[in-house]
Amino acid sequence: MIIRSRAAALARARRERGASALEYAAVIVIAGALLALIVGTGAFQTIGDSVQRAVCGLFQGPDACAEQDTAAPDGAPVSGDPDEGANEGPVDDDRPLPDPTTRPPDDPGPVDQGQVDDTRRFIREYLDFEPGFWPWEWDGPDSLELYQRLMNLTGPELDAALAGLSEDELRELFASPVGINLVAEHIRRNASLDTLRRLGAANAFPLDPRFDNVGSDTADTARYGEVPGGQLFGGPNNDQISIEDINQQALSDCWWMASLGATAQHEPGRIRDMIVENPNGTFTVTFPDGEAVTVTPDLPLSENGNPVFAGTRGNPPVLWPAIMEKALAQRDGGYEQVEVDSFTRGMEILTGNESDSRDSGDVSLSELAEMHRNGDAIAFNTPSMDDAEGPRYDGQPDPPDLNNFHFYVVTGVNEQTGEVTLYNPWGRNHRTVNHSELDEAFVQMQSNNFG
C-alpha cells in the first residue's frame, strides 16, 4: 500500500472518465462495509490519529507533529527594545581573494551500479504511478520502500542515482511525502557538493537559507559561493578557535556574534564539539537541544567574492563563525530570522542553560571581576540612538565612541583601575570603559555561566 491521497486519486479518476450508477453503488457498498468494520472495532480514532501522524511526519518531520506553539518567534524587527541588539557592522570587501588550496578530492568509494539502477528505476515507477479508481488499483510503489532505498545508498551511489534524473523529476521526487525531512539530511551529509548544488539550483529542496529579506542593502547583489581555501578552524592544524575570529558584517546579528565570541573566549571546546566536517565537504552543527543542521560551505558572497555576513578572517580564511551563523539561519528559516535578538538567547542556544540579565548599573566592580574570573560569558548592550546620552555618544567623535543598539563582550576587568575591556563583534573598534561609566553608557548586562 502506498501513502498517497486516495481521495485525490479517486476524484481525479472521476473527473477523467466519469462514473456510472453501478460504480457509485459499488463504491457506496464498499465504503459502508469499511466504515462498519472500523466503527465496530473501535479503531476509527486510532486509525485517524495514525494517519494524521504519518502524513504529518512525512511532510514536516516527526518533531513537527507534536502540539505546535503558535507564539510569534523571537527576533522581531528593530523596536528599540533595550533587551535586543541589532547594529550591523561594516563589510570588508576590499580584501584580495585567498589562494585556493590544492587538497585532493576524497576517494568516492565503490558504487554498486546494480543498486543505483534499481533505485533510479524504482524512483521513476514511484513518480509515474497513478492509482486507479478501484481499491485494487491503488497498490503501487511504496513510499517507505523508496525512503529505505535512498537511505541505503552511499554518497557516490546517491550522486549516480540522482544524476540520471531530470530537474523536473528531482522536483517531483522531493515534493512527494518521502522528500524533505526524511532523506534530505542524509543527502546533505553524503552526496557530493556538485550534486547538492544541482539540487539547489533545480529548487528540488531548500539547500541554503534565504537572505533576500535581510535589512541590509549590501546583500542585494550577493550570491552563494564557496570561499577559496577556507578551513573550519584556525592555525596550521585546523584546530584553533578565538574570539578574534568574530567579524560581524552586513547582518544585524550582533547578539549571535557576541555569543559566539564569548563562547570562543571562555569555552572554545563547546564550538569545536558542535561542528563536524563531513567527508563530502558539508558541516553538521548539533545544538545542545539535540537538533542537528547540515549546511554546505557555500556562503553569501559579494561581487568581489568576499562574505557579506560573518567574515572569514585569517589566512587561510576561518569558516566556523560563518558556518555557525548559517546553521542558525537554516534552522530558524532564513538569515532575516536571526536579525535582532538578545545575548541571553544566544548563550542559551549555545549552552542549553538559562542566562541572566540586569541593569548595567546594578553590578559592582568586584562582582563583575569575579564573574569574569569564573569564566562567565558577559556582554553589555548600548541604548538606541534616541535614548543614548553621555560623553560616549555626544559630540566628537562622529560616529559616537560606542555604537548604538549593539552588544559588546567583556574580555577583561581590572579591579585596580576599574577598567572594563570590551570586544566589538565587528572585529574592530574595541573599547575600554571605566566601571563608573557602565550605568550611563549601557542599558543591561547579560550573562551566562555555561552551567
Q: Name the E strands within 324-425.
A: 356-359, 377-381, 407-413, 419-423
Q: Residues 15, 127: one domain? A: yes
Q: Is residue 51 part of a domain?
A: no
Residue 39 maps to a domain: no
Q: Are residues 20 and 139 located together in one domain of the fold? A: yes
Q: Tell me what pLDDT residue 237 has.
A: 93
Q: Are residues 333 and 365 in the same domain?
A: no
Q: What is the DSSP letter of 329?
A: H
Could you write out the DSSP letters of every residue in 259-302? HHHHHHHH-HHHHHHHEEE-TTS-EEEE-TTS-EEEE-SEEEE-
Q: Are residues 231 and 360 located together in one domain of the fold?
A: no
- Does some domain include residue 148? yes
Nine-digit cell string for 357:
540579565
Cβ neighbours for 244, distance < 8 A, ≥ 6 positions apart: 313, 427
Among 87, 190, 254, 404, the one annotated catalytic = 254
Q: Could you give the CA distance from residue 90 to residue 97 in angstroms, rounded to a whole number?
A: 18
Considering the domain architecture, whether residues 202 and 293 belong to the same structural domain is answered as: no
Enter the DSSP assignment of 78. Answer: P
**The last residue of a domain, from among 323, 347, 371:** 347
Residue 442 corresponds to which amino acid? F
The domain that contains 391 carries what CATH number? Answer: 3.90.70.10
- 165 shares its domain with 27: yes
Distance from C-alpha of 366 to C-alpha of 413, rounded to nearest angstrom:
9
Residue 68 in domain = no
Please say whether the beta carbons of 261 and 268 come within 8 A: no
Strands (E), 307-434: 356-359, 377-381, 407-413, 419-423, 431-434
CA proximity to 143, closest of 8, 48, 1: 1
For residues 221 and 289, state if they share a domain.
yes
Rounded to whole angstroms, how far apart are CA atoms 293 and 282?
A: 10
The answer to whether residue 8 sits within a structural domain is: yes
Domain co-membership, 6 together with 128: yes
Crossing angle of helices 320-332 and 254-266, rounded to 10°: 130
- Please give the pLDDT value at position 18: 37
**Catalytic residue among 266, 372, 406, 435, which?**
406
From the candidates 403, 424, 435, 448, give the one annotated as an active-site residue.
424
Which phi and psi (to 5°) does residue 320 adopt? -60, -40
Q: Report the domain count for the chain.
A: 3
Same domain, 156 and 280: no
pLDDT for 116:
96
pLDDT under 70: residue ranges of the chain: 1-109, 131-140, 177-182, 395-399
Catalytic residue check, 406: yes
| 83 within a domain of the structure (yes/no) | no
The contacts found for 264-268 with CB under 8 angstroms, 24 or more apart, are 265/377, 265/409, 265/411, 265/423, 266/375, 266/376, 266/377, 266/450, 267/375, 267/450, 268/241, 268/242
Give the model's pLDDT for residue 142: 78
Edge to edge, what strands does the sheet with 431-434 contain?
A: 356-359, 444-448, 377-381, 407-413, 419-423, 431-434
The Cα–Cα gap between 402 and 384 comes to 11
Q: Does one domain contain both 16 and 146?
A: yes
CA distance 344 to 381: 11
**How far apart (Å, rounded) are the C-alpha atoms in residues 129 and 139?**
9
Examine residue 280 and state whether it is found in any structural domain, yes or no. yes
Residue 173: name the closest of 125, 131, 137, 209 by CA: 125
Please, what sign has the CA dihedral across residues 150, 154, 159, 163?
negative
User: Which one-letter amino acid corresponds to residue 363?
Assistant: V
The rounded distance, in Å, linking the Cα atoms of 243 and 152 is 41
Contact 264, 245 (CB under 8 A): yes
Handedness of CA 111, 117, 122, 127 (dihedral sign): positive
Indicate the residue among 177, 207, 237 that finishes a domain: 207
Domain boundary pick from 184, 207, 230: 207
Q: What is the pLDDT, as a whole number, of residue 393? A: 85
Structure confidence at residue 269 (pLDDT)? 97
Which string of DSSP letters, residue by residue, matches 407-441?
EEEEEEE-TTT-EEEEE-TTSS--EEEEGGGHHHH
Query: How far is residue 230's CA from residue 208's CA, in Å, rounded to a whole number?
Result: 18
342 and 360 both lie in a single domain: no
Q: Is 424 part of the annotated catalytic residue set?
A: yes
The three cell numbers of residue 440 are 550611563
Give percent helix, percent strand, percent coil of the chain, each to the nearest 5. Answer: 45, 10, 45
Is residue 117 situated within a structural domain? yes
Say whether 254 is catalytic: yes
| Domain extent at residue 260 | 217-347
Amino acid identity of residue 305, one-letter, is G
H helix or E strand, kind and range, residue 445? strand 444-448
Residues 234 and 332 in one domain: yes
